[in-house]
């Protein structure tokens, strides 16, 4: 396997919970193991000092032991799911589908949580010095410089978050559908396009300074989440949960949506119906009405309508459809 990028990242160290499980030419596959699940990182060497990595995680949380590898610039894009990070000041911020983060990986070590238990996305990294030399040699027409972009977006080594930028999302959307034939060349072209878009971006137009939440508030919301998901037979109001948590109801609504990606009542409706969908299959001999009562639904028609809103079909059709598969 060629390329300095793999050797350099080996020296920097992903940590004791990450292991290489496959390698072929310019690609390697890493697995992250955690008590709550596992994650896979499929890394490609784009140029010397430049890598592109597909991230697929199915876990609740993990501890990152990654040590900064003198990264000039690192770009993360979230395709699906949700991930929580801690900023330099101890506050929490969240990436959701369509979000992009730019940083230097200075504060990447520590606990990472996935509120929805899954995260899928892409990371593109540029090593200081080597990446610039590669771009000058391989793409002399390209004026974008990763180090200058790092200075532009990551002042004081802080991360920069961009929400739902259509031109950037378009580049990543194409990367998720990259052709197998000529894949590395495709990565190189799209990486150049991405750098040009970032070079031309007015950062003041995309900076979102209201997406950071105190650790104490996010911890309380997570406690509330555990409390209500362990009592699916009960229906709680935000005011009731406000009294339990000691948080003002407005703050509870705001932070809950930030952590879990949906308003409280919408999230709980979907959570309950997904729990029902699992029960319908795991307990085929149990009457649907009995399952509905377990989750606090005494009215069969309201339960059926709620299930259809979330799952697209009635409970009866869902069970019969799964039985036919």
Q: What backbone torsions phi and psi does residue 61 show, to the nearest 5 degrees?
A: -165, 165
- Is there a single domain that holds both residue 117 and residue 253? no
pTM of the model: 0.87
- End position of a domain, from candidates 175, 206, 237: 206
- Is there a single domain that holds both residue 172 and residue 24? yes
**Structurally, how many domains does the chain consist of?**
2
- Is there a single domain that holds both residue 177 and residue 111? yes
- Is there a single domain that holds both residue 152 and residue 268? no
CB atoms within 10 A of CB 214: 14
- Is there a single domain that holds both residue 179 and residue 227? no
- Is there a single domain that holds both residue 200 and residue 227? no
Q: Compute the distance between CA of residue 313 and CA of residue 150 in angstroms, rounded to an integer.
A: 48
Which residues constitute the domain of residue 53? Answer: 4-206
Q: Compute the distance between CA of residue 149 and CA of residue 218 in angstroms, rounded to an integer.
A: 31
- Is there a single domain that holds both residue 302 and residue 197? no
* Any domain includes 211: no
Q: What's the confidence (pLDDT) of residue 167?
A: 94
- Is there a single domain that holds both residue 155 and residue 261? no
Q: What's the confidence (pLDDT) of residue 2?
A: 42
* Any domain includes 277: yes
Match 């000691």 to its residue by tokens.
246
Q: What's the confidence (pLDDT) of residue 8?
A: 57
We report the CATH number of the domain holding residue 253 as 1.10.10.60
Q: What backbone torsions phi and psi does residue 170 show, to the nearest 5 degrees?
A: -65, -40
* Any domain includes 76: yes
Reading the chain (325 residues) residue by residue, the pLDDT tens digits are: 344 566 656 655 567 788 899 998 899 999 999 889 999 999 999 999 999 999 999 999 887 776 666 788 999 999 999 999 887 778 899 999 999 999 988 766 678 899 999 999 999 999 988 999 999 999 999 999 999 999 999 888 888 999 889 999 999 999 999 999 999 999 999 999 999 999 999 888 765 555 789 999 999 999 999 999 999 999 999 999 999 999 999 999 999 999 999 999 999 999 999 999 999 999 988 999 999 998 889 888 999 999 999 999 999 999 888 665 5
Q: Compute the distance between CA of residue 209 and CA of residue 238 in angstroms, rounded to an integer.
A: 26
Q: What's the confidence (pLDDT) of residue 109?
A: 67
Q: C-alpha 227: how far from its chain's center?
A: 24
- 80 with 97: CB under 8 angstroms? yes
We report the CATH number of the domain holding residue 144 as 2.60.120.10
- End position of a domain, from candidates 188, 206, 224: 206
* Any domain includes 122: yes
- Is there a single domain that holds both residue 142 and residue 14? yes
* Any domain includes 301: yes
Residue/partner pairs of 216-224 with CB below 8 Å, 24 or more apart: 217/247, 217/251, 217/255, 218/84, 218/92, 218/255, 218/258, 218/259, 220/245, 220/246, 220/247, 220/255, 221/245, 221/247, 221/252, 221/255, 221/256, 221/259, 222/115, 222/259, 224/252, 224/256
* Any domain includes 155: yes
* Any domain includes 70: yes
- Is there a single domain that holds both residue 182 and residue 281? no
- End position of a domain, from candidates 173, 206, 239: 206
Bridge partners of 23?
Answer: 28
- Is there a single domain that holds both residue 188 and residue 144? yes
- Is there a single domain that holds both residue 313 and residue 190? no
* Any domain includes 185: yes
């Amino acid at each position: 396997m060629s390329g300095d990028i793999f050797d350099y990242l080996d020296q920097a160290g992903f940590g004791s919970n990450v292991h290489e499980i496959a390698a072929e030419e310019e690609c390697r596959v890493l697995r992250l193991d955690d008590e709550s699940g596992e994650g896979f990182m499929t890394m490609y060497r784009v140029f010397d000092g430049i890598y592109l990595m597909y991230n697929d995680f199915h876990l609740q949380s993990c501890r990152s032991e990654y040590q900064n590898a003198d990264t000039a610039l690192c770009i993360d894009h979230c395709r699906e799911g949700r991930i929580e990070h801690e900023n330099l000041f101890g506050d929490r911020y969240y990436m959701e589908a369509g979000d992009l983060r730019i940083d230097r990986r200075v504060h990447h070590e520590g606990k990472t949580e996935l509120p929805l238990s899954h995260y899928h996305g892409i990371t593109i990294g540029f090593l200081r010095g080597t990446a610039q030399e590669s771009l000058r040699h391989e793409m002399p027409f390209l004026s974008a410089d990763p180090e200058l972009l790092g200075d532009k977006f990551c002042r004081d080594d802080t991360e920069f978050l961009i929400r739902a930028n259509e031109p950037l999302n378009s580049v990543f959307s194409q990367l998720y559908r990259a052709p197998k034939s000529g894949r590395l060349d495709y990565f190189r072209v799209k990486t150049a396009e991405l750098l040009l878009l970032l070079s031309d971006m007015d950062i003041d137009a995309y900076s979102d300074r209201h997406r950071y939440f105190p650790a104490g508030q996010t911890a309380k919301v997570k406690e509330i989440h555990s409390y209500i998901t362990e009592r699916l037979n009960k229906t709680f109001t935000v005011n009731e949960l406000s009294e339990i948590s000691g948080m003002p109801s407005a703050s509870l609504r705001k932070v809950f949506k930030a952590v879990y990606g949906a308003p409280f009542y919408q999230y709980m409706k979907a959570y309950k119906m997904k729990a029902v969908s699992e029960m319908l299959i795991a307990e085929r001999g149990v009457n649907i009405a009995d399952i509905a009562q377990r989750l606090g639904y005494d009215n069969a028609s309201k339960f059926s309508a709620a299930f259809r809103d979330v799952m697209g079909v009635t409970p009866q059709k869902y069970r019969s459809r799964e039985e036919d598969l």
